[in-house]
Structure 1
């Protein structure tokens, strides 16, 4: 069994993991860092998902890293471009040389005697087991299971003679030209797939149990492109980022504060996009805006496919799959050569690893999240969890800044251990995503951490609030307990 010891280990080489590693490497060049990645390439989500049209669902000025601005004026970037951006960022900061590939992380155990984490990894290609040790551990694995997407049991699914595909495992050689395609789902993946396949396929039908709120955004940022003729690119990017952060927050707050008014606004927007010939029942959700995430479509591509007759939307319940398609509860049958089950993801915390403290099992949902970065009663562990009501990277960026501040504070004061403690009994038992009614959230309530009723234990999903808390508020606040440094261990590897 091989041993490797580092100051900081980051699990996951996706958007959050690479960003956090770059921040730590920049702010703490003296610290040794390792990034452990299960796949054979970095990129995380943007390397795993390969379905047609995959792209960001947030504008790239706010989805890109603050420390390395996105420099293209395309608003919603394709997945391949995002992966290249992550890869280029890693190379620019020397993080590409610190990534250890092909490692499935199965366990992490904290030793109070040694003040270190022991991380157990399995090299999947050979079955070899390795142990990595570190003083500080960061989980940047996202929140879904890479091994399996969510797939409901559909009656008669074994009868269907065509192909059934989940977007998480898209075949690279799939030929859908001239074929009838049914996409089951109404979320971000479905509204991306339908217009991307339309035109090549004979026809694409989006089959939904219930509608989602969908709005069109410009595919190209014309304002920033014009400003760049007169102003430096860095200034233009900074202005665009501030503008978009403010706009996103305003939309979210308006939806929560004036849901009926915003519902009318969003539905009127759809009516203008689809025209009078499309049934608005297919675009009128039963819930209020931001009870579930909104879906963005660039330049209204979904609406254009519908108006062109290349795609259609059906709202109904599935009775059974048949040999040639899907029979609906209404009695209608949808013919299909290919059925795409865009039915969501399986939530999984910490990449599914077994977490223990001094040999005692710990589950994330048993503790509170501290500043939505650390975990109650778990020493020297950070987990990166982005926003659900704003671009993910906004939160991962400032979480990385906080980790850098915390490491500097520990170094300056001779601390080896930092552990959040809820001595004020602020727990209220609520989950961190209770405001969302999305299916994947409801299915994952038993796995997600809890939040408190006040202070650093409460999750606000508010970028402005979090910037102050993570970037400006004192590190020592009475809730984070520190222990002095112990004798250094000999380094191996």
Structure 2
């Protein structure tokens, strides 16, 4: 079970909030001194700064052990409070804290932190949450801003870029498999750190991973949440981005950031390397010619993986068409037919809405409850820091990473109307809202952009009164004996284990070395994402095989962390991951 943050209500603290509070930065001298600044039920999250890993510690005993183990290994200095980012906040009437940012340095890194002070009964203020985060490596700054290239190319830029893309003069240190947002983000971060990186994309164009999905697809996250590193979306960008528009943006991003990308190229294998390198990566291009690269690092940025269709008896008896949502394209492909969509989360809602908008008879089959939040009521509350008028993106990212999200299902009164139509809802895993549900399983929720109202209005038919028993020749039979006629059955039922893509390319002898990917560990951290996927000791056989995935905001923020890990390995300054 992941750690649960217990909110510091004023009743629990038996105190009230004073309007004027003086905050002082206190230099860390020893474990006892630090613990004296924390409440007993403290929540401390560290990303790389003090652990070279992703860790969450809750309660004084857990934090005490972490600090006792790690503080002797790091020389911490240059603590400075960000006076412009100190704020008294009251997110709810009975909850209050002072949120503040600070900067500091470690032996090898430049780091930042966020803490929240809560008032105690004796009038003192102590930290209820602390977040420490590695920002940069000493001696290896990003090559941008005043460090950008000041040399004039005098008409040689195109030829220079062609040689760079083809890796004529310099072989890559890193191969990134996949040219979606996750692959492009980490490639951009590595380029800024001066690490030669090649992105290999199987599609003909960057952006095709969005361009070739179902036509009705759009982002359900708002624009302020979805910016990419270094180049934010224009101020005129729509709040919810259509997939085709995002596809074109990704293509332009790769060009503008001068990323080295091979399209229409396929990685054929990733095997233990030679010549002192960890991995040999063989790439086949459109002309069928192959080229092998010897590298220390391979980043798998392949997204969700293969579509998963449940094993329902009688599939061979069905006379209609059956497909996974990842293969669905246009609703008009099935004009005049009865369509059944199995599933009740994001893709299912999007596809059903597209069918309904195009006059196709569509029924959603809901097999288990879903968490639903409206973009009208819920999103402005849930994503306050990623909304119009919110803080700068880099500030919002760090606030977002520093504490769990709060459930806001009570704000969505329209759920009652959904439930009256028979749609089954829940409040997410452990009643924690959609975020934990999404991180645990990659689905289980829908951020409503209109399909819920279509269900309420009956434009999308709904069947949610029993499990599917089997296929018939003309549709589906349910365990309660009812049937549903269908010409087409679309399975919006998620994706297979993300490790499948790794097993396709890695030697079979390494398959059982892969750690789980996605889902939360006992601390509440994601398994393997933005780190190596097969053990993290110095002699682990899969060192140098990295996982990069997530939505646009997670990729934007954590691409920095993955790039810093690779860069520190390349420069020989990476420490030991805290176990």
1:335 pairs with 2:499: no
Cα deviations by residue, 1:436-477 (Å, 9 ceiling, x for unpaired): xxxxxxxxxxxxxxxxxxxxxxxxxxxxxxxxxxxxxxx644
Q: Does the 8 Å CA contact 1:179/1:337 hold for their aligned counterparts?
A: yes
Q: Paired residue for 2:462? A: 313
1:16 and 2:182 are equivalent in the alignment? yes
SS of 1:327 mapped into structure 2: strand
Q: Which residue of 2 aligns with 1:465?
A: none
**How far apart, CA to CA, are the structure 1 residues paired with 2:366 and 2:553?**
31
Could you tell me which residue of structure 2 aligns to residue 76 of structure 1? 240
Any idea what SS the aligned residue of 2:250 has? helix
Aligned to 1:217: 375
- What's the counterpart of residue 46 of structure 2? none
Query: What pairs with 1:352-431 in structure 2 (closer than 5 Å)?
Result: 352-355=503-506, 363-365=513-515, 372-375=530-533, 376=536, 377-378=540-541, 381=544, 383-386=546-549, 392-406=551-565, 409=568, 415=572
Please give the per-residue CA displacement for 1:376-409, whole angstroms capped at 9, x wherever unaligned. 225762523445xxxx233333433234434554
Alignment equivalent of 1:187, drawn from 323, 345, 361? 345
Are the counterparts in 1 of residues 187 and 199 from structure 2 also a CA contact under 8 Å?
Answer: yes
C-alpha separation in 2, matches of 1:270 and 1:79: 27
Structure 1 position 46, deviation (Å): 1.7
Structure 2: distance between partners of 1:117 and 1:277: 56
> Residue 470 of structure 1 corresponds to which residue in structure 2?
none
Whether 2:352 is the aligned partner of 1:200: answer no
1:432 is aligned to none
Closer/same/farther in 2, CA of residues 213 and 13 from structure 1, 3 Å limit: same
Residue 85 of structure 2 is aligned to residue 85 of structure 1: no
Q: Distance in 1 between matches of 2:332 and 2:351?
A: 14
Give the counterpart of 1:6 among 172, 179, 190. Answer: 172
CA shift, 1:321, in A, is: 2.0
Q: Does 1:104 align with 2:267?
A: yes
Give distance in 1, aligned partners of 2:497 and 2:325.
16
1:445 aligns to what? none
What is the rounded CA distance, in whole Å, between the counterparts of 2:528 and 2:470 in structure 1? 46
Q: Larger Rg: 1 or 2?
A: 2
Question: 1:120 and 1:82, CA in 2 relative to 1: closer, same or farther beyond 3 A?
Answer: same
What is aligned with 2:146? none
Deviations 1:78-121 (A, max 9, x none): 221221121111011112x532432133223244x513531123
Q: Residue 158 of structure 1 is aligned with which of 309, 316, 319?
A: 316
Paired with 1:151 and 1:370, the residues of 2 have a C-alpha distance of 25
Q: Post-superposition shift, 1:190?
A: 0.6
Q: 2:217 aligns with which of 54, 62, 69?
A: 54
SS at match of 2:173: strand
Indicate how the Cα distance of structure 1 residues 330 and 479 shifts in structure 2: closer, same or farther if over 3 A, else same.
Answer: closer
Name the CA distance, whole Å, in 1 between partners of 2:167 and 2:238. 45
Contact 2:205 2:263 in 1 (8 A): no
Shift of 1:197: 1.3
Structure 1: gaps of 5 or more residues = 224-233, 256-261, 416-474, 481-493
Cα 1:266–1:340 change in 2 (3 A) is: farther
CA pair 142-116 structure 1, distance change in 2 beyond 3 A: same
Q: Distance in 2 between matches of 1:89 and 1:20?
A: 13
In the alignment, the residues of structure 1 paired with residue 562 and residue 426 of structure 2 have an alpha-carbon distance, to the nearest angstrom, of 42
SS in structure 1 of the partner of residue 406 of structure 2: helix
Query: How far does the alpha carbon of each residue in 1:335-367 deviate from its partner, in whole angstroms, 9 at most, with x for none?
Result: 22221111221123354344469x977732299
In 2: Cα distance, 1:218 partner to 1:235 partner: 14
Residue in structure 1 matched with residue 134 of structure 2 by the alignment: none
Query: For 1:140 and 1:37, how far apart are their aligned partners in 2?
Result: 10
Corresponding residue of 2:280: 118
Residue aligning to 2:196: 32
Conserved? CA contact 1:181–1:338, under 8 Å: yes
1:63 alignment partner in structure 2? 226
Cross-structure match for 1:136: 297
Structure-1 separation of matches of 2:205 and 2:262: 9
Partners in 2 of 1:374 and 1:42 — Cα distance?
25
* 2:273–2:280 CA contact under 8 A, matched in 1: yes
Contact 1:9–1:34 (Cα < 8 Å) also in 2: yes
- Give distance in 2, aligned partners of 1:366 and 1:209: 26
Question: Residues 209 and 248 of structure 1: is their aligned pair in 2 closer, same or farther, counting only changes over 3 Å?
Answer: farther
The CA deviation at 1:199 is: 3.2
> Offset at 1:144?
1.5
The total of aligned residue pairs comes to 382
Q: Which has the higher contact order (CA 8 A, sep 6+)?
A: 1
SS at match of 1:34: strand
Q: Does 1:292 align with 2:454?
A: no
Output the CA distance in 2 between the equivalents of 1:155 and 1:356: 34
Distance in 1, matches of 2:359 and 2:298, equals 47
Equivalent residue number for residue 57 of structure 2: none
Is residue 324 of structure 1 aligned with residue 324 of structure 2?
no
Aligned to 1:283: 425
Q: Note if contact 2:529-2:547 (Cα within 8 Å) is conserved in structure 1.
A: no
Using structure 2 for the length normalisation, give the TM-score: 0.57
User: Residues 106 and 352 of structure 1 are in contact (CA less than 8 Å); yes or no, is this contact kept in structure 2?
Assistant: no
Q: 1:219 to 1:100 in 2, by over 3 A?
A: farther
Q: 1:67: how far off?
A: 2.1
Q: CA RMSD in A?
A: 4.0
Structure 2's unaligned 5+ residue stretches are: 1-165, 382-386, 439-443, 522-526
Looking at structure 2, the residues matched to 247 and 46 of structure 1 have their Cα atoms a distance apart, in angstroms, of 26
Deviates more, 1:344-353 or 1:305-314: 344-353
Query: Cα gap change, 1:162/1:361 in structure 2, threshold over 3 Å: closer, same or farther?
Result: closer
